[in-house]
Structure 1
């Protein structure tokens, strides 16, 4: 990519408050999908390629800090400041279950086999819910050294990764014993931790540093200082030759993985960039910002002109077409302004 040129993104509107988390599904027979979490309490599902709105999950009463899709993009999950994590039918938008917590839930993640949901938050507790028995008590790992910011699964669901809001480092937990087996040391709290698609690397962002760790042996592979404080980073999933990072300067930076050289810089957001993620095929990456928009940038040549997606009016994916009427009936009339008396939770 020519460093002097920047891509023209697809701009996805719809959220009324900052976008704080993004998650791409794997590629499915119906394409791939993008889910976003926002402080407006309403996670949104989109076509991952075009950015077109598919539906909004309505039911949370506080900021939604984290969201994810299962391997087949059939179910979604979200973690919220309303002290709950919710499980959703990604085809219809129906709420399948609400997992109640005793404090703000900051992170959630489906296991690779899709049978388990992992959550973490202000309680300093990791919970593992069996989705085949959603009413059963969860497995609890309760000795996190701090409030939990991020979670992820690795090693075929045998290991859990977590980082904390207020202290540095990434903890690797053995699921069977519930014990920490390794800590990846960082100077600042880790705000983003991503396991690469091939399971080879863990990408972390802490302060103004991006680090890449060996996901099997836990050694530090590369560490790069960034031009500003960054909140999120993502490694290109196919070739692994570049990564993107976003943070307080409102720009999305592209770097060479092998050298750390900046090879591109995309401008367009009007607030700090809270999250960046590569699509599963590596042909594009998405960024979510304090400005309430999602921007999808092409990895290859720039598009001919900026394209602003219109929630509900763009071309739907095959999956969306089959349920468009149902989604419209159940989700289109969502009042994101309701229960604003509980908004004191949203900026915690």
Structure 2
């Protein structure tokens, strides 16, 4: 009997709480990298292709809701429930700066030229920090209609995208005037908003719907109803012919962009899927879940006989498979988190 084609994921352990955000770097001379945010307060950096753990960024005192890498994967940023956004050296793991806020930071994003860091959160304020002068007060855009859930840059850093936790729609802000120039209407709050690698599309997830918008003219290009409430969606970056979505039913689904037809339905997570992202080469995609794991799935299925089979990737508690010299080179300056802070509440923890 023919073996059934299934996608066998790499399973990345290490987080002790739900994984709530994932971000892939572009391809660099050293490959590409994956950073994850978790309610355990410790963002982790991994090899984007193999899932092998590189290091853990230590310093937050609350749940980390958002994370990102700059275009060269030399610096990382994270936003947390401890009322800070932090800038990190992605080579050593050192904290470069901590940007104080007055409430939970839910989202952060490096500008395309990597000179600016954008943050947003429960304060209903967008802040733009100059990374060449991190001590300087940020530029503030303070008329968001609701608490900010997602942020992104587009149009060569001339436009900012944001969505809110409590009301529908995506707002597009002109950076120079700090005013909303367009709103993309959705029925439900947008929980995921991604600008495609080529800058053509904005991919959003709201309720049971995944939508694709023209990033230049802002018209609705595609809208597909999903089998469940989805929390995140991501468009394949090379050909743009597939997208992946994940949500409350614990499945990670791959779809045809042109028709909305389901191509694959991947089983493996043991809790709702909070975030999905395609790798920059489009040959794999990652998912983060309430179960505390990250799973990396190949876009093209392999042949296997057991759908529950999974391959482990290196984690802080896993056996390291690379040679000792490689480990020293990769994790120099990084530290494994010794104390995990159980903090995902809205109250700022005492210092």
TM over 0.5, shorter chain: yes
Alpha carbon RMSD of aligned pairs, Å? 1.8
- The residue aligned with 2:237 is 237
Q: Measured at CA, do residues 129 and 322 of structure 1 come closer, stay the same or move farther in structure 2, by a change above 3 Å?
A: same
- The residue aligned with 2:329 is 322
> Which whole-Å deviations, capped at 9, do the CAs of 1:25-79 have from their partners, x for residues lacking one?
0000000000000000000000000000000000001100000000000000000
> 1:181-260 to 2 correspondence within 5 Å?
181-260=181-260
Q: Is the 8 A contact 1:23 1:36 kept in 2?
A: yes
Q: Is the 8 A contact 1:47 1:317 kept in 2?
A: no
Distance (whole Å) between structure 2 residues aligned to residue 261 and residue 73 of structure 1? 34
- The residue aligned with 2:23 is 23
Q: In structure 2, the residue corresponding to 1:168 is in which secondary structure? A: coil
Distance (whole Å) between structure 2 residues aligned to residue 320 and residue 112 of structure 1? 30
- The residue aligned with 2:282 is 282
- The residue aligned with 1:56 is 56
Q: Is the 8 A contact 1:40 1:336 kept in 2?
A: no
> 1:164-183 to 2 correspondence within 5 Å?
164-183=164-183
> Which whole-Å deviations, capped at 9, do the CAs of 1:312-339 have from their partners, x for residues lacking one?
4143899965343432xxx12x22335x
Distance (whole Å) between structure 2 residues aligned to residue 87 and residue 279 of structure 1? 23
Q: Is the 8 A contact 1:53 1:314 kept in 2?
A: no
- The residue aligned with 2:91 is 91
Q: Is the 8 A contact 2:5 2:301 kept in 1?
A: no
Q: Measured at CA, do residues 204 and 31 of structure 1 come closer, stay the same or move farther in structure 2, by a change above 3 Å?
A: same
- The residue aligned with 2:65 is 65
Q: In structure 2, the residue corresponding to 1:326 is in which secondary structure? A: coil
> 1:332-343 to 2 correspondence within 5 Å?
332=336, 334-338=337-341, 340=342
Q: Which sections of structure 1, spanning at least 5 residues, go unmatched? A: none
The count of corresponding residues between Structure 1 and Structure 2 is 338
- The residue aligned with 1:156 is 156
Shift of the alpha carbon at 1:300?
A: 1.6
Shift of the alpha carbon at 1:302?
A: 1.9
- The residue aligned with 1:307 is 311
TM-score computed with the length of structure 2 as normaliser:
0.93
Q: In structure 2, the residue corresponding to 1:234 is in which secondary structure? A: strand
Q: Which sections of structure 2, spanning at least 5 residues, go unmatched? A: none
Tell me whether 301-310 or 291-300 shows the greater mean CA deviation: 301-310
Q: Measured at CA, do residues 343 and 67 of structure 1 come closer, stay the same or move farther in structure 2, by a change above 3 Å?
A: closer
Distance (whole Å) between structure 2 residues aligned to residue 317 and residue 237 of structure 1? 34
- 1:10 equivalenced with 2:4 (yes/no): no
